[in-house]
A and B are shown apart, each in its own frame.
Chain A
Amino acid sequence: MRKFLKLGAAALALTMVSGGMAQAQEKLSIYHWFEYIPQELLDKFSEETGIEVTMDTFDSNEAMLANLKAGSLGSYDVAVPGDYMVEIMINEGMLDTFESSELSNFGNIQPQWVDVPFDPGRKHSIPYQWGSTSFSVNRDDFGGDINTTSILFDPPADLQGKINMLDSQGEVLTMASLHLGIPQCSQDREQLKALDELLQGAKPHWASFNSDGAKDVLVSGDAAVGMIWNGFSAKARAEGANIEYAYPKEGYLVWMDNVVLLKDAPNRANALKFMDFLLEPENAAAVTNYARYTAGVNGVDEFLDPELKTSPEQSPPADAPAGVFVAVCDEATQSVYDSIWTRLKK
């Protein structure tokens, strides 16, 4: 019987050793949105550099921040937060800096995306993709005018109870502010109360809060309306959902996701290699073809799927307003928005 225990001890030792050995190889650890980068592109990066890539995924900017603050900072090299979240992370001191000279492809970044308000001069981040957030409506269920945020917040009877919202505080609250026509980061009590009341009144009409299932609920027909990102909606349409992406007259959101260099990154050099790799037009185009958003890199056109140019999710009608970025509020104002969200979710 001693044999049994010895065997167990040997197995234990073996697994620990093999776990330790794997660490000798060059590594890169990515914290990324779900379904946002094709596996082939990661394989290509590994092939070119010999760096082994591991990737975890998140489904909202806020969840990513929460997990990093829960002790995961120091175990990831790069993450892909949206614009306003980059600013928050800089304020929280969670990002490392790099010089533009450290990236040989830095010059590929489109000029309008270099001096961005959330990271002036791009000291912590590079552009990944940009797109818009609005909602899509299943045309089998509803034939009327969809270019209004009333579809989400004051839905017609046909659509009540069939709406999926993104589980994302920044985007939902900003969309609701657009519906009411109040500014972001408002400190006016009446406006904030109205915002709270609007959301409480709309909640009974919503079937679920789901970001990672936002595409699936539209494809499977579980929801007739889904708040969604433009590229994800294009993918849902490609998978057979008869949906139309809305450009509400009250406004909609635009955003840019960015690859950031995290503080205490265990493989800083590899992280920079990866960022450089993503600024290569061919690779940026591969992401765009997969995720159906828009790259912020020069020279991608020749590699793009021609279908993208005519995609309705990429071509707002002429009379549609310009999209709005989510704003970052100061902490006191933010805490009111936080409690509006908490009250909505509970």
Chain B
Amino acid sequence: MAGGPAAGGGASSSTFAGIRHWLLLPSWLVIGFFLLLPVLLMLVYSFLTKDFRGGVIWEFSLAAYDQFIFDRGLFGDEPPTIEWIYIQIFWRSIWQALLATILCLVIGFPTAYFIATRPQNTRMLWLFLITVPYWVNLLIRTVSMKFLIRDNGPLNEWFLAAGLLDSPIRMINTDFAVQLGLFYSYLPFMVLPIYASVERYNFALSEAAADLYADRWTALRLVVIPAVSPGIIAGCILVFVPSLGAFLAPDLLGGAKNFMIGSLIEEQFKGNAGNWPFGAAASMILLTMVLIVLMIYARQQARGEREGR
């Protein structure tokens, strides 16, 4: 992404060095006060005692994390066993996000490659066509998808009318619907970075491969894909991370029955559960997972840069 700390701005460009702290003050204050501080507060809340339906009592407690990990039976007095449910919810979210990422990659890579190999004048138009839906409100896109695939929705009606189906296929309220929704939400995030990589790719390399009797698919596998892998990785992260905490797709397309991380957290604050410390703990766990993914990515990128990729 543009504007890394090390990128740009050589030693000569320090025209505003004298007042830089004043210039940075607003962003420090706003983000520090309204995001960093709240996140730290959330960490504190995850160690407090829950109040009856919403809110907290200011007493230290590990109950939230305990609830996440251990099952102590209905009355809370049985010997603790490992609680699989929340691990399953997290695993399901990771799995769903992974499948959505793979779906995005399988469709997004050929699309990005195709666009990047168009002549200059039509390339922008293709790119424009891919990005337009992204500008349309995410909620509206999700609702459109819900409308399209419901049991009595247009898709099923057409298939029935065309005689392709005997009875409507159930798509809404399934895991597939959630993956489809995530795919639909974040596809452009996959296409754009891959496009940027392929555009910079030197096709002389493919030609050299062809001269060495590689066929097209071998060239793609052994030459093109490794060369554009930074774009592929960036795209996968840009799809995977927001998919992990997605709320709209599971709620509207998944029927709110199969919890994912996002809906599990929402339920603690807005729904019936009203368990704030647990919601804060689940949020912390999600945040930690995302930061680990991003850190691995940043490490690899730094290594790639050192190796002069």
Contacts and interface: CB of A to CB of B under 8 A. Distances in A.
Question: Do any CB atoms of chain A lie under 8 A from CB atoms of chain B in the complex?
Answer: yes
Interface of A: 60, 62-63, 65-70, 92, 167-169, 189, 192-193, 196, 206-210, 220-222, 331, 334, 336, 339-343, 345-346
Nearest to B276: A70
A346 B270 CA distance: 15
Give me the 4 closest cross-chain CB pairs, A-B, nearest first: A69-B54, A66-B274, A208-B255, A66-B54
Contacts of B259: 345-346
Given A60-B272, A168-B272, A343-B74, A65 B256 contact: no
B290 to A, nearest CB: 22
Contacts of B172: 222
A193 B89 CA distance: 24
B274 A208 contact: no
18 contacts: A60-B272, A62-B271, A63-B270, A65-B53, A68-B54, A69-B53, A69-B55, A70-B54, A167-B272, A189-B75, A208-B256, A210-B255, A220-B151, A221-B152, A339-B74, A340-B74, A345-B273, A346-B259
A346 B86 contact: yes
Given A63-B271, A70-B54, A346-B85, A209 B257 contact: yes
A67 B273 CA distance: 11
A249 B257 CA distance: 29
Contacts of B85: 343, 346
B269 interface: yes
Nearest to A60: B272
Contacts of B256: 167, 208-210
A286 B292 CA distance: 57
A221 B151 contact: yes
B52 interface: yes
Contacts of B255: 207-210
Contact of A207 (B75, B173, B272): B173
Contact of A63 (B75, B150, B272): B272
B308 interface: no
B257 A339 contact: no
Contact of B273 (A206, A331, A342): A342
Contacts of B3: none
Nearest to A342: B273
Contacts of A206: 257
A192 B73 CA distance: 12
Contact of A331 (B52, B74, B89, B151): B52
B267 interface: yes
B76 interface: yes
Contacts of A189: 75
A70 B269 contact: yes
Contacts of B257: 206-209
Contact of A66 (B53, B76, B151, B264): B53
A336 B74 contact: yes
Given A220-B150, A222-B173, 7 more contacts: A62-B274, A66-B272, A66-B274, A70-B54, A207-B255, A208-B255, A346-B85
Contacts of A66: 53-54, 269-274
A342 B259 CA distance: 12
A67 B54 CA distance: 8
B74 A346 contact: no
Nearest to B86: A346
A97 B259 CA distance: 40
Given A62-B274, A207-B173, A336-B75, A346 B54 contact: no
Interface in B246-262: 255-257, 259
B51 interface: yes
Nearest to A343: B74
Nearest to B278: A342
Contacts of B271: 60, 62-63, 66, 167
A196 B52 CA distance: 21
A181 B53 CA distance: 28
Interface string B12-56: 000000000000000000000000000000000000000111110
Nearest to B254: A208
Nearest to A68: B54
Contacts of B76: 339
Contacts of A196: 74
Nearest to A331: B52
A51 B87 CA distance: 51
B61 to A, nearest CB: 15
